[in-house]
């Protein structure tokens, strides 16, 4: 991820208070591993510095979250937190591969009209879920794109056969199994209609598109008074992406 807000960090820490999360960020900042600032509505944002990235063993370019994408970044993080809270996700050892990691693998070779999913979720083989071994593309859809663009993205994700960063000739090879067994769209009410219409336009491929609603925690929160210590509630399971067999 590119960064997250303090209330989401508190949730990631297992329901810590905002005060506890702020204290932890203060220690990271003192060690030069992270920075924090109020970039937009709600609680401050936290992101990792170059030293922090090196300590994590990743080679991303250090930068604060992009201001124009704060709401989207929050929504993607909310989807990740909601999935990670589901017992089947944890029990299966599923793991999240962020858009930032996918982009780093590409090394700047993404075309102007190419599309990266917001993340991938990988389900290891040999686990107790019926979709073990699958890779899912994740799309957090806050605002509606055009129907044509949404349809094109769906087709691109469903047709891909190679990993991101593979040679271009291996990206889409007819006859090979698709990379993404399914695409999970997690939508706002404003975007869901376009996503459902786009799914209907791609015929039998639409069976691999699954649509859920964004959890309430995806919304940008109101500004919190300095020194607040309340805990952040976990997302409602009825709104979180489900890990029972997805239905079209």
Does 165 fall in a domain?
yes
In the prediction, which pLDDT does 220 show?
84
The domain that holds 161 is classified in CATH as 3.40.1350
Q: Residues 17-62: pLDDT tens digits?
A: 999 999 999 999 999 999 999 999 999 999 999 999 999 999 898 9
Does 179 fall in a domain?
yes
Range in 40-44, 100-104, 217-221 the model is least confident about? 217-221
The residue segments making up the domain with residue 134 are: 67-218
Does 37 fall in a domain?
no
Cβ atoms 18, 224 nearer than 8 A: yes
Residue 217 has pLDDT above 90, yes or no: yes
Q: Residues 53-89: pLDDT tens digits?
A: 999 999 898 999 999 999 999 999 999 999 999 999 9
What is the domain count for the chain? 1
CA distances from residue 24 to 28, 44, 76, 104, 179 in whole angstroms, order as listed: 6, 13, 23, 28, 38
Does 237 fall in a domain?
no
User: Which distant-in-sequence residues (6+ apart) come within 8 Å of 204 by Cβ?
Assistant: none
Does 161 fall in a domain?
yes
How many H helices and E strands in the chain?
9, 8
Please give the Cα distance from 157 to 136 (Å, whole number): 10
**pTM for the full predicted model:** 0.86
Does 127 fall in a domain?
yes
Cα dihedral sign for 51, 57, 61, 62?
Answer: negative
Residue of 185, 228, 233, 209 whose CA lies nearest to 81: 233
Please give the Cα distance from 49 to 28 (Å, whole number): 10
Q: Residues 150-204: pLDDT tens digits?
A: 999 999 999 999 999 999 899 999 999 999 999 999 999 999 999 999 999 999 9
Summarize the confidence of residues 102-119 as an average pLDDT: 81
Residue of 151, 178, 144, 175 whose CA lies nearest to 163: 178
Cβ atoms 95, 120 nearer than 8 A: no
In the prediction, which pLDDT does 2 show?
94
């Amino acid at each position: 991820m590119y960064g997250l807000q303090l209330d989401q960090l508190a949730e990631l820490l297992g329901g810590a208070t905002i005060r506890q999360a702020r204290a932890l960020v203060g220690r990271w900042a003192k060690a030069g591993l992270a920075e924090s600032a109020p970039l937009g509505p709600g609680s401050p944002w936290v992101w990792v510095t170059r030293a922090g990235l090196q300590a994590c063993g990743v080679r991303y370019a250090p930068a604060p979250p992009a201001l124009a994408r704060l709401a989207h970044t929050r929504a993607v993080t909310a989807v990740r937190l909601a999935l990670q809270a589901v017992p089947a996700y944890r029990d299966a050892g599923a793991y999240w591969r962020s858009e930032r990691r996918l982009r780093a693998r590409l090394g700047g070779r993404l075309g102007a009209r190419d599309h990266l999913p917001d993340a991938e979720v990988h389900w290891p083989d040999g686990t107790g879920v019926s979709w073990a071994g699958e890779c899912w593309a994740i799309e957090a859809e806050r605002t509606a794109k055009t129907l044509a663009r949404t349809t094109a993205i769906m087709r691109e994700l469903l047709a891909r056969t190679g990993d991101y960063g593979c040679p271009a000739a291996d990206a889409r090879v007819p006859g090979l199994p698709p990379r993404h067994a399914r695409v999970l769209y997690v939508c706002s009410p404003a975007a869901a209609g376009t996503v459902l219409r786009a799914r209907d336009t791609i015929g039998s491929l639409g069976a691999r598109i699954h649509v859920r609603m964004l959890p309430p925690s995806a919304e940008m929160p109101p500004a919190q008074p300095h020194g607040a210590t309340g805990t952040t509630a976990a997302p409602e399971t009825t709104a979180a992406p489900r890990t029972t067999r997805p239905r079209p």
